[in-house]
Chains A and B, each alone.
Chain A
Amino acid sequence: MTSILFILVLIAAGYFLVSRIKIRLSHTRVYIGIYMLLLMFAVAAFYYLGKTGSSLALENSEARESEFHRFLETGRVEHLKGIRKLGQWSFTYRGKELALKSTKDYFWTVVAIERKNASDETIEVISYTTGMQLKDADNPPGVKLKDGQLQLTNPPPVEIDLYATVADFTMTQFNAEKSVYNVDHSLAQNILGNQVLLVRIPAQLQLTVDETVSVIEQK
């Protein structure tokens, strides 16, 4: 109802204004000429930027999600195509037991535990993401070793503002496969990606995990 009222108001306002605009034809020719030149320039620039400019490639894909979990379970997560390192920590630890816990209610990133073959008294922690490389969005979690505890802190909240230009309805009407609003959850999944915190511990180290952390033991 509001949109119908809005359209009616627009028509009435347009009629009122347009019927009162008295502009010389010579002036109109100049304005329209400049406007058309601007539009032509925009078309040339659009195709030029399409070839040379950089823009994000957004794609809906559920395959990447299952591939991530497959690599995670088989202990090859760092070899996953497109994975990026967000942060890396190394701690010397001589204790026999280590507790893994979150400093807040719940640690959102999955922790993959990998036991090294050697007992080298070193704990290595690497943060990976499969998400898109976006400005101000690549924040690794906090990792701290204190009093026999590996304390994990969620990365600071991130708000990502993205723009996607899509085809007009006059184009998609005759091109069904390129639906304008064909955007689903898998697109968000591709933007955010999956995060994993790979913790490499010495072979003989006894590990206790707090219920606030999700852990996958790599095979």
Chain B
Amino acid sequence: MSLSTINLFTNVKRQLNYKLKANAGILFSLVAVQLLAALLSYNGTVSIGWGSGTSFISLRLVSGDIIIIFSLIWAFTAGLIVAANSQRYDFVFVTNRLSSNLSSVAVLFILSVGGGVSATLCGILLRVYLLLNNNSISSTYLSPYILLIGICSAVLYSLLFSAIGYFLGILSQRNKAYAVLLPALFFGLLFVEARSVGSTRHILSVIYFFIKESSLLIFALKILLAVALLYSAVILIANRMEVRQ
């Protein structure tokens, strides 16, 4: 019998603090992932060549795209890890499925914000390094407004990827087969759809639904709606799970 009554908010806050400490290694790996991606981006994301008479030009386009893509993969992996660790850490506290999931969502939110912001800024770090070490460089000016758009967009993408990772992590706890089946199904369908011409492309339509959106506000609404749907599904699935597997 418990002598003190703990409300949901206090419980979530305590679990959040604990989970942040427990998942500190994920933040550390973010730095490693971004620096590795910056190193890979150093020689350019795209290279274009032209020849004329006796001259040849090689133009390397450098952007933070690889850093952002690596950070999104990191966010997806973070979602999987937080979902896997929640089983281990949840029962240290007086908890229920709702408070556990809410605290995990809060952890992923913080990680995604950190990942999105640092991914964009790491691209700036790469540009500064190139500007200081290379004379033959053309630098596209990014206004603070454009930089802010980039940060917001990267954070939103990170939120989506971490939510997908968390959803798959929880789903695979329910049945281990999902851990193999769902990624295989996703990549398999993606591969088939990319090669098929004329037929309906469901996976690509979903991807285009996000990446073709040119209004940041509508994009944010789409992402937040998708994230809310994924977390709602997680809460529904988790409520039907055993106390501890």
Whether the pair B62, A164 counts as a contact (CB closer than 8 A) is yes
Bound Cα distance from A143 to B28, whole angstroms: 62
Say if the beta carbon of B130 comes within 8 Å of chain A: yes
Say if the beta carbon of B33 comes within 8 Å of chain A: yes
Q: Which residue of A lies closest to B62 (CB)?
A: A165
Kindly list chain B residues whose C-beta atoms are within 8 Å of the C-beta of A158: 54-56
Whether the pair A173, B153 counts as a contact (CB closer than 8 A) is yes
Whether the pair B149, A175 counts as a contact (CB closer than 8 A) is yes
Within the complex, what minimum Cβ distance (angstroms) separates B121 from chain A?
4
Bound Cα distance from A38 to B141, whole angstroms: 20
Bound Cα distance from A45 to B118, whole angstroms: 16
Contact with B along A29-49 (1 / 0, CB 8 A): 001100110111011011101
Contact pick for A183, options B48, B53, B78, B123, CB 8 Å: B48
Contact with A along B38-56 (1 / 0, CB 8 A): 0000001010101011111
Kindly list chain A residues whose C-beta atoms are within 8 Å of the C-beta of B138: 55-58, 162-165
Bound Cα distance from A40 to B147, whole angstroms: 13
Bound Cα distance from A192 to B50, whole angstroms: 10
Within the complex, what minimum Cβ distance (angstroms) separates A107 from chain B?
9
Bound Cα distance from A185 to B54, whole angstroms: 17
Kindly list chain B residues whose C-beta atoms are within 8 Å of the C-beta of A35: 31, 118
Kindly list chain B residues whose C-beta atoms are within 8 Å of the C-beta of A203: none
Say if the beta carbon of B99 comes within 8 Å of chain A: no
Among the stretches A4-12, A72-80, A81-89, the one at the interface with B is A4-12
Bound Cα distance from A49 to B53, whole angstroms: 35
The count of residues in chain A whose C-beta lies closer than 8 Å to any C-beta of chain B is: 72
Within the complex, what minimum Cβ distance (angstroms) separates B80 from chain A?
6
Bound Cα distance from A192 to B215, whole angstroms: 38
Bound Cα distance from A87 to B144, whole angstroms: 44
Say if the beta carbon of B3 comes within 8 Å of chain A: no
Q: Which of B142-175 contact A (CB under 8 A)?
A: 142, 144, 146-147, 149-150, 153-154, 157
Within the complex, what minimum Cβ distance (angstroms) separates A103 from chain B?
13
Bound Cα distance from A102 to B216, whole angstroms: 59
Say if the beta carbon of B235 comes within 8 Å of chain A: no
Whether the pair B153, A170 counts as a contact (CB closer than 8 A) is yes
Within the complex, what minimum Cβ distance (angstroms) separates A218 from chain B?
22
Within the complex, what minimum Cβ distance (angstroms) separates A6 from chain B?
10
Whether the pair A165, B73 counts as a contact (CB closer than 8 A) is no
Whether the pair A166, B56 counts as a contact (CB closer than 8 A) is no
Knowing A58-B138, A134-B136 touch, does A108 contact B130 (C-beta < 8 A)? no
Knowing A25-B24, A181-B46 touch, does A43 contact B121 (C-beta < 8 A)? yes
Say if the beta carbon of B198 comes within 8 Å of chain A: no
Kindly list chain A residues whose C-beta atoms are within 8 Å of the C-beta of B213: 173
Say if the beta carbon of A156 comes within 8 Å of chain B: yes
Q: Which residue of A lies closest to B23 (CB)?
A: A18
Say if the beta carbon of A17 comes within 8 Å of chain B: yes
Bound Cα distance from A146 to B214, whole angstroms: 65
Kindly list chain A residues whose C-beta atoms are within 8 Å of the C-beta of B134: 163
Whether the pair A169, B77 counts as a contact (CB closer than 8 A) is no
Contact with A along B209-222 (1 / 0, CB 8 A): 00101111001000
Bound Cα distance from A162 to B61, whole angstroms: 9
Q: Which residue of B lies closest to A5 (CB)?
A: B187
Whether the pair B77, A171 counts as a contact (CB closer than 8 A) is no
Kindly list chain A residues whose C-beta atoms are within 8 Å of the C-beta of B120: 168, 170
Whether the pair B26, A163 counts as a contact (CB closer than 8 A) is no
Within the complex, what minimum Cβ distance (angstroms) separates B209 from chain A?
13
Bound Cα distance from A134 to B134, whole angstroms: 12
Within the complex, what minimum Cβ distance (angstroms) separates A123 from chain B?
24
Contact pick for B124, options A14, A43, A53, CB 8 Å: A43
Say if the beta carbon of A209 comes within 8 Å of chain B: no
Q: Which residue of B lies closest to A21 (CB)?
A: B25
Whether the pair A181, B140 counts as a contact (CB closer than 8 A) is no
Given pairs A53-B131, A168-B150, 6 additional interface contacts (CB within 8 A): A18-B26, A19-B85, A43-B121, A56-B136, A163-B62, A183-B48
Chain A interface (Cβ within 8 Å of chain B)? Answer: 1, 4, 7-8, 10-11, 14-15, 17-19, 21-25, 28, 31-32, 35-36, 38-40, 42-43, 45-47, 49-50, 53, 55-58, 108-109, 134-135, 137, 154-171, 173-176, 178, 180-181, 183, 185, 187-188, 191-192
A-B residue pairs, 4 tightest by C-beta: A21-B25, A108-B53, A188-B50, A170-B153
